[in-house]
Structure formats: C-alpha cells, structure tokens
C-alpha cells in the first residue's frame, strides 16, 4: 500500500492555500511558519508535484494545487464528520426532543412510544405538538415529524418510511341496527357519511378489495371534520359510517364499540414516515429516538 499523506500536512496546505500566507496559515493550525513550510514540502515530495507557487510577495496555487485543494478539504471534512459521528454514537442522549405528528396518530401511537423512550433515557425530556396542521419543522424548530403519505421532496429534509397503514369503513352497532348494514358500495349513498376534510378540501373515499380495482365512492357528507379523532367519536356515538385509519379503530372493533362495514374493502396502503432536517450530525437524542421509533413500529 502506498504511503498516505499526513493529516497535519493536509491541514497545513489547506490553511496556507486558503489564507494565501504561510504566517496566517501557521497561526490557524497552531504551528510555526518553518514547521508549516516543511510539512507542505514533505507533502509535495510525497505527491511528486509542486502545489504552491512561492515568491517573496505572494503565494499561489499551481495547477496541481488547484486540483488537489478541494479534494484535501473534502478529506478533512469527511474525517471530522466521521470522528464526530463515532464520538456521538457513544454519547448518552439528553436535552429536549421536539416532536410533531397528526393529532390522532400522535395520541394513539406516538405518545406511548415517547413515554417508553423517556423512561429509557431519563436525561431527555419531550415537547409534543399533535395537530393536523402541517408544521414546517425547520422553520418552527422541531426535531422530528411523523407524516402520512409521501411528503414532498425537500433538500432540507430527510424522509424515512417507518410503517404502513390503510383505512376501512366502520360504524357503531346502534347505527347499523337503526339504518341497516350496507351490502354494496352503491348502498353507501343511502347512509350518513362521516367524512374527513374541510369545506375547501374534501377527501373522497377510494376503496378496493385485495384483488379488485379502486372504486370511488360518491360522497355526500353528513358530518365533515378535519379531525380523525372527532370522526371516530361521531361514529362511536352512532352518527354514521366513517372511513378511518386502522390504528385508530382496531381497539374499538375488538371491543365491539365499532363494527366493520363492507369488511372486504379498504383504502390503498399509505406510508407513515418520520421526517427530520438534514443536519449532518444528528444529536444523540434525535438519532436514538428515530431508532427507537422504527423498532417499536415493526
């Protein structure tokens, strides 16, 4: 294996090239001017090329120096990041973890995971914002967001799929006893529909069987709400049929509080993603929480 350049020599070369001065370069790396000069000379001898033009008045880069400088800078940056990452890997997480998620998923799924994480790492505290408003986590200073669907690609964010879910139709036993149980998609038009969305953005029910093609349901909301928990409460109280995420209604169905409607139908699966800013070195609390979240949602 060929002899590699000394890191100190790379640092000296970058400092001198960036400052245009042996004196200033030496000051930046904490060495004498003579030591920096000898270090760069050894580097040039190793590479077999001259990197710097030296005159009594100025210092400039040769063509080889111009080619080598960005590569040397990248080597030093990569080494610093690798060293920092390894050092942080052994560091215990601490500080405030700021998390945002949708209201229903946050309360139903994320909060228990946060609680177990805080129990595991008592030096961490948490601040949660469970809201159906899409928060700009960079602008508002959040560490992690949990989002449904594929968020728009942004150079400021990293997205990682941590789970998948789908939605299904459900209603209370009381409602079905009063209004009857629909036997086909077409019969949904004769029922009170509890629909997610707002007057400006109403969502359509697009359902499918495992083997079938998607079917769009004609929507005429009896109740329109932008809050999934409110729709679940309305369904539980017998107000109509809702199409809700499985994670939100599984327990109610198991306990008989809600019943599946047209059980062979559901929406297409959608990804549940953890989103976080593209900081090169994640803090230990964020990195540990993302790993914890992924493990809990498997």
What is the Cα 61 distance to its own chain's centre?
42
Q: Mark whether 56 and 102 lie in a shared domain.
A: no
Q: Which of 8-12, 54-58, 237-241 has the highest mean pLDDT?
A: 237-241
- The per-residue pLDDT for range 204-214, each reduced to its tens digit, is 899 998 887 89
Higher pLDDT pick, 59 / 179: 179
Question: Which residue among 89, 111, 138 closes a domain?
Answer: 89
* Residues, the chain: 298
- The per-residue pLDDT for range 20-41, each reduced to its tens digit, is 888 888 899 898 999 998 999 9
Q: Mark whether 148 and 287 lie in a shared domain.
A: yes
pLDDT of residue 204: 84
Q: Mark whether 70 and 100 lie in a shared domain.
A: no
Q: Mark whether 127 and 50 lie in a shared domain.
A: no
- The per-residue pLDDT for range 186-234, each reduced to its tens digit, is 999 999 999 998 777 767 899 998 887 899 998 889 999 989 999 999 9
Return the number of other C-beta atoms located less than 10 Å from residue 200's C-beta: 6
Decide: helix, strand or coil at residue 271. Answer: strand
Q: Mark whether 34 and 19 lie in a shared domain.
A: yes
Per-residue burial over 146-176, b if 16 or more Cβ lie within 10 Å, else e, is: bbeeeeeeeeebebeebbebebbbbbbeebb
Q: Mark whether 247 and 179 lie in a shared domain.
A: yes
pLDDT of residue 155: 58
Q: Mark whether 173 and 246 lie in a shared domain.
A: yes
Q: Mark whether 59 and 199 lie in a shared domain.
A: no
| Residue span of the structural domain in which 112 resides | 95-161+278-297
Question: Which residue among 40, 64, 89 closes a domain?
Answer: 89
On whether residue 147 sits in a domain, the answer given is: yes
On whether residue 60 sits in a domain, the answer given is: yes
On whether residue 43 sits in a domain, the answer given is: yes
Q: Percent of the chain, pLDDT > 70?
A: 93
pLDDT of residue 203: 75
On whether residue 1 sits in a domain, the answer given is: no
- We report the CATH number of the domain holding residue 211 as 3.40.190.10
Tokens at residue 36, please? Answer: 């920096």
On whether residue 273 sits in a domain, the answer given is: no
Q: Mark whether 171 and 157 lie in a shared domain.
A: no
- The per-residue pLDDT for range 109-120, each reduced to its tens digit, is 999 999 999 999
- Residue of 227, 108, 244 lying closest to 168 (CA atoms): 244
Q: Mark whether 175 and 145 lie in a shared domain.
A: no
Residue whose tokens read 């799924």:
109
Q: Mark whether 172 and 263 lie in a shared domain.
A: yes
On whether residue 2 sits in a domain, the answer given is: no
pLDDT of residue 1: 47
- We report the CATH number of the domain holding residue 49 as 1.10.10.10
Segment 94-111 shows an average pLDDT of: 93
Higher pLDDT pick, 244 / 1: 244
On whether residue 125 sits in a domain, the answer given is: yes
**Domains held by the chain: number:** 3
Question: Which residue among 89, 116, 148 closes a domain?
Answer: 89
Q: Mark whether 117 and 83 lie in a shared domain.
A: no
On whether residue 262 sits in a domain, the answer given is: yes
């Amino acid at each position: 294996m060929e002899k590699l350049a000394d890191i100190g020599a790379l640092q000296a070369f970058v400092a001198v090239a960036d400052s245009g001065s042996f004196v200033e370069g030496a000051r930046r790396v904490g060495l004498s001017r003579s030591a920096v000069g000898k270090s760069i000379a050894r580097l040039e001898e190793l590479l077999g090329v001259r990197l710097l033009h030296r005159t009594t008045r100025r210092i400039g880069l040769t063509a080889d120096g111009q080619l080598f400088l960005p590569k040397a800078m990248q080597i030093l940056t990569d080494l610093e990041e690798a060293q920092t990452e390894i050092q942080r890997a052994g560091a215990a997480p601490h500080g405030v973890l700021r998390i945002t998620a949708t209201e229903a998923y946050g309360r139903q799924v994320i909060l228990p995971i946060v609680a177990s994480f805080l129990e595991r790492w008592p030096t961490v505290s948490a601040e949660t914002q469970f809201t159906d408003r899409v928060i700009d986590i960079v602008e508002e200073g959040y560490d992690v967001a949990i989002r449904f669907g594929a968020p728009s690609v942004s150079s400021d964010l990293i997205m990682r799929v941590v789970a998948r879910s789908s939605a299904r139709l459900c209603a209370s036993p009381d409602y079905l006893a009063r209004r009857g149980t629909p036997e086909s998609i077409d019969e949904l038009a004769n029922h009170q529909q509890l629909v997610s969305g707002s007057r400006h953005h109403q969502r359509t029910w697009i359902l499918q069987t495992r083997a079938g093609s998607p079917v769009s349901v004609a929507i005429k909301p009896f109740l329109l709400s932008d809050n999934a928990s409110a729709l679940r409460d309305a369904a539980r109280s017998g107000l109509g049929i809702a199409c809700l995420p499985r994670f939100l209604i599984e327990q109610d169905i198991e306990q008989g509080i809600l019943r599946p409607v047209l059980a062979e139908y559901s929406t297409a699966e959608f990804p549940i993603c953890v989103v976080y800013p593209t900081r090169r070195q994640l803090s230990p609390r964020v990195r540990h929480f993302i790993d914890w979240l992924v493990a809990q949602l498997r």
